[in-house]
Structure 1
């Protein structure tokens, strides 16, 4: 068997399974106790690779992502790093992106506010902070010296760099990043960029570490190397030089993370080191063999559509409308009809858009769900503050701790009363209500508890004791605002409190008693952290034996993990900071619309979406999904060849094939065309039966859509002109 193998192919060509089969045949030649390092491009594909490798039955397999491996090694060898880099070792804490943005903004605030020409608006300063942090990560993943960043920006972008980094920030980019690096290392704080920088600059060049690394792993497997950073290429090369068996897969139409740190060219030298090469080609069906060449050719030569018009495959349909709202309805109705008449399951359909905006996602999901079809929005991350449950807990926090009254108003209190008054529905929990005696109809309170109120009962068997109307009355009459000590007054201060009803009154009194109890324990110094209060609130008002809606459970997990991380970091920076001040900063961070990092573990397994999948191009490609039917929304949009948010500022300047010259519009156009070729071949390789090109003459902004697929749609005679 070959000592190393390089497997190339398109989407769904069997690359991963071929790699697993190669390892299956290798296991008989491995000495007992050999360890295997398996690297996948993303956390989603890691689960799939783990499941396949588990079937081989080899006990010692470490399966992770390149960045996950860098983080693991930096944590394990942190004392060695502290010795080599010359900083005082502390137990390292990893900053999440939301914490990184806030702390870097505070550190660089005075420097970024200095502008000799004109003051720079706060949104521009926040964007500049994000750009600088991204540059750190790009430089670390590519092995670039941080001091070279300003020169690369000037050489590669010229005056265009000042658009994203106004003032004199371009010239100071290297110094600011170095300042941020040193500030974090002195406090034992790590970011993803710093993890890569430490691993590439110190661990990979340390002979002691390399000796242990090469003796630890006897086999290395790397799936989808086209999405790996250049630093991962150095790691794989060193392992192979140390005598490890090596198997790699490479998607010729991949590179979905190009622009986010991936560098396929930097991984190509691994192919030259391999003794065996296997090319699996692309998927062999009409969509790949006939439609993909048409779309990619027309993108470069629009008038080349004529020879293809007569050979249009029947597996491609076109939906055309004038307005985009009409297109969304037509697309949804076509999907509903297909499920009803084509023996098609909802999980066989995917709707893909170059930029799935909130309006389109909500409209499609609402129409399809109203027709009884399940929908999965892939990678649907929303600001944590958008969850009513999260807002209710933050409001409760401000009532327990003093000095936070500025965050409160009556609407927040009313929302909290509704959100934290959930209770098990006794009518659903007890099929036969307790008897109150022969011929007795029971008291008013007993009837209030016993009679079903299905309108207020959730599918989880919980009901809300306080409805929005009663919550509004309580907030108007029983809430006393105060900057230092806001308070919920007794229900009797409301002259007509009898109108609230028994259930609402008891739930309100229970909430008041709980707040008073927590405040008393705070005065007695029995509560060491606000996180304890937050956890108690979840247990008292929301948990109910785990009967939570999945969306609420996900929001709670994100909130608790973000809060724990924020408190750990705050205490590391300033152990003497008052708890009220930390709560104030945390609430301010969430109210700015921060999207918290995904809680770990996000899920125990990685199942495929259970309904119709709605996703943008990047989400769909990185998830490595496939469906029988594809609906390409906004097919004529000019966004199809562009990377958009999936391309970081300055990323082309940190690729190995950058020639050192200034980027021109022709370079950008060529990069877009190359990206479009990869996107079309990759997506069509993941569509097995039928493709719908969904086009509206006007975009969501009311402009004509003149993207690379517009000539195909105009020339097609399969479209239905609405």
Structure 2
């Protein structure tokens, strides 16, 4: 593999470890291409597919693995080109989705569908519609599933369509892949031997997915899985589309291709076969999205069509720790001892471990003058106890902690619950969806002042609900404050605030409009009256209210599309309880588009992230705390991989997916995780381990050799 100074061609494959400068070199190459694009011909010859000469109107196609990296890469390119270059920056999924929407009439012609503007279904509405469509078939299976178990099965089925689309596998072949891999759709595990009943259910599940796909396309609904399939199967091979592609773009520049879906390779090969400038960067220790639609091995075969370059530099502690850690994890008995740049914090219980971690972070900041933004706490999975303890305890000592790209259900936030409860109080037939505790919370939230104080405290809110809230399945209401015996105990401030809320509710009830527009208008007026006009809200609070409003709009947009296509007329009043029930589930995130700071300066906060979040964001810190280092979740990357992903990899050999194959994948993933994180740490790594996990089980995970090595070094030092 050549070094950077040997680069001569215009189709390059650049490989390098974490923090080695791949993205910087990619931006430099884009800058050189932009400077020469005015009068240059690609490789001195006419492209095979695209016959017209390059023009100033053409853009460069720039791809990045996720939204955060895409924004940062776009900013770097814009700064390098000083705002003069034409380029389109997208994620692979974002680019394919935009192209499918733009060329949807072409797809409709091929599939003989009615041409109409497509509507992208959000995951929560996708799951709702699929559940309703499949209800009869799933009931005939007699599985006895309900609630979360049924939701998991529905989600597993829909994820299979997404995996197949990203891999370029026809949905008709999904059942064949699962059967060949001996995977149980019902349990989400590997099976051994022949199971005729399971084979029948797998075949029926494939038919369900095909029926779902047909149902969506007939109504113009798009999901992630359908977008992937329409792009690779119908749009990309189309000669007319390819002509447009080359008229619009004169080159392709893709960063971190190891995290791209397999069908992205087909797009990249079009540019390579047309002899257009192209550059791809890859990290052999990346593989962050393996199991989540990415196929790093298949994308790696692009290197054979390019001039291959390699960055020999390594980032962070990888220079001194990389090989040692790799040996420790595979052959600990023959490896060298760990240097002092990797320490351990060990305890018997999880609570005492968190306390020790907090004390060490406080010591670093106060005694060694380490800045909070130089510290990251990385965990395979963050439970609520650890999240609350770390944020509360460190915050009490003046050290701010910020969860990375935090995404929590709307209904987990009082800013999401209170407007939903308000709608249920206003509109008829929603009383069964209201909990009395939520009404008390509503009174507290709606009584806030500009100074951040609550005119109704929790105790008096509880009294008001006990005496003045009248539950009713059809028409729940708040009664006057004087309904309460000894109402003088409430005080003037509480009584006034309560009556203000009650009068506003009664005023709205007198002019209620049950239509979708009326519900959205009422929600908007409530948010403005109680929150926006009186309070100074944070980004997180605004994001929750925004997502709540957008979810309601999306629900009614899908409902309107169904009524138009199916010719049914449903009473608007009957739809609101369904909307509220949907909002009360844990399916909708309060922040699906996490905040992107336009200020490059880091916030003075300690970063709290899962392994997947940290690696996907490509962050770098001087000090890393690896929480729950003894957990087995480390070899799973801290993120749940999609069921059956292995049989949808392009290099799958058709053999049954065994426990041995699963173990091999986990070992490789662990090596990638460790090498990647080490390359993103500048000074020191702390392995944080408790003998007992949060649920009381003993922890014996794959990082135990590292913990034992640090413990032996400490004993030797003492002796």
Q: Does the TM-score normalized on the shorter chain lie above 0.5?
A: yes
Q: SS of the residue aligned with 1:695?
A: strand
Q: How many residues align?
A: 677
**Offset of residue 284 of structure 1:** 5.5
Equivalent residue, structure 1, for 2:65: 41
Aligned residue in 2 for 1:384: 410
Q: Secondary structure at the match of 1:640?
A: helix
Q: In angstroms, what is the RMSD of aligned CA positions?
A: 2.3
Aligned to 1:589: 582
| CA offset digits 1:374-407 (Å, max 9, x no partner) | 1011232222111112222112112221111112
| Structure 1 unaligned spans of 5+ | 425-460
> What is the distance in 1 between the residues matched to 2:435 and 2:624?
47
CA distance in 2, matches of 1:421, 1:603: 31
Q: Secondary structure at the match of 2:289?
A: coil
1:559 deviation in Å?
A: 1.0
Q: Distance in 2 between matches of 1:264 and 1:480?
A: 59
Single out whichever of 21-30 and 10-19 deviates more from structure 2. 21-30
Q: Distance in 1 between matches of 2:671 and 2:435?
A: 53
Aligned to 1:480: 470
Cα 1:660–1:606, aligned 2, differ >3 Å: closer, same or farther?
farther
Q: Which digits, 9 at most, give the CA deviation of each residue in 1:281-317, with x for residues without a partner?
A: 35156x3134232322232224224xx13xx322121
The 3-state SS of whatever aligns with 1:693 is strand
TM-score normalised by length of structure 1: 0.89
Give 1:674 deviation, angstroms: 1.0
Measured after TM superposition, the shift of residue 546 of structure 1 is: 5.7
Q: Is the 8 A contact 1:320 1:719 kept in 2?
A: no
Deviation, 1:122, is 4.6
Equivalent in 549, 557, 561 of residue 572 of structure 1: 561
Matched, 1:61 2:87: yes
* Per-residue Cα deviation, 1:402-443 (whole angstroms, up to 9, x for no partner): 11111234332222111111233xxxxxxxxxxxxxxxxxxx
Looking at structure 2, the residues matched to 473 and 184 of structure 1 have their Cα atoms a distance apart, in angstroms, of 49
Contact map agreement 1:48 1:606 (CA 8 A) in 2: no
- 1:564-643 to structure 2, matched below 5 A, reads 564-574=553-563, 576-596=569-589, 598-599=591-592, 602-603=595-596, 605=598, 610-643=604-637
Map 1:229-268 onto structure 2 (within 5 A): 229-268=261-300
The superposition leaves residues 46-99 of structure 1 with CA deviations (integer Å, 9 ceiling, x where unpaired) of: 111011100122331111100000111111111111111221122211111111
Tell me, in whole angstroms, the C-alpha distance in 2 between the residues paired with 1:322 and 1:21.
51
**Cα pair distance change 1:474/1:545, threshold 3 Å:** closer
Structure 2 residues not aligned, in runs of 5+: 1-7, 39-55, 190-196
Aligned to 1:141: 166
Deviation track 1:589-615 (CA, whole Å, cap 9, x = no partner) reads: 222322337455844638656411111
Q: Distance in 2 between matches of 1:606 and 1:129?
A: 41
Distance 1:122 1:493 in 2: 39
Q: Which residue number in structure 1 is paired with residue 213 of structure 2?
A: 181
Partner of 2:701: 707
C-alpha displacement of 1:470: 2.6
**Secondary structure, aligned partner of 1:698:** coil
Q: Provide the residue aligned with 1:563 in structure 2.
A: 552
More deviation, 336-345/320-329: 320-329
Contact 1:298 1:708 in 2 (8 A): no
Partner of 2:238: 206
SS in 2 for 1:628: strand
Contact 2:101–2:118 (8 Å) recurs in 1? yes
Q: Is 2:162 aligned against 1:132?
A: no
- Go from structure 1 to structure 2 and tell me whether the alpha carbon gap of 1:613 and 1:125 turns closer, same or farther (over 3 Å shift): same
CA 1:122 to 1:519, structure 2 compared with 1: closer, same or farther past 3 Å?
Answer: closer
Q: CA deviation at 1:535?
A: 0.4
- Correspondence 1:468 to 2:462: no
Tell me if the contact between 1:423 and 1:544 (Cα under 8 Å) persists in the aligned partners.
Answer: no
State whether residues 136 and 146 of structure 1, in contact with CA within 8 Å, keep that contact through their aligned partners in structure 2.
yes
Aligned equivalents of 1:181, 1:242: Cα separation in 2: 33
- Partner of residue 279, structure 1: 310
Counterpart CA distance in 2 for 1:78 and 1:281 is 45
CA gap of 1:294–1:93, structure 2 versus 1, over 3 A, is same
Separation in 1, partners of 2:515, 2:268: 53
In 1, the alpha carbon distance for the partners of 2:667 and 2:684 equals: 24
* Other structure's SS at 1:677 match: helix
Say which is worse superposed, 166-175 or 669-678, in terms of deviation. Answer: 166-175
Higher mean alpha-carbon deviation, 26-35 vs 616-625, is at 26-35
Q: Structure 1, residues 326-371: CA drift from partner, whole Å, max 9, x if none?
A: 1111111001100111121001001112222222222222221111
Aligned to 1:452: none
**Any runs of at least 4 consecutive aligned residues in structure 1 with deviations exceeding 6 A, and if so which?**
none
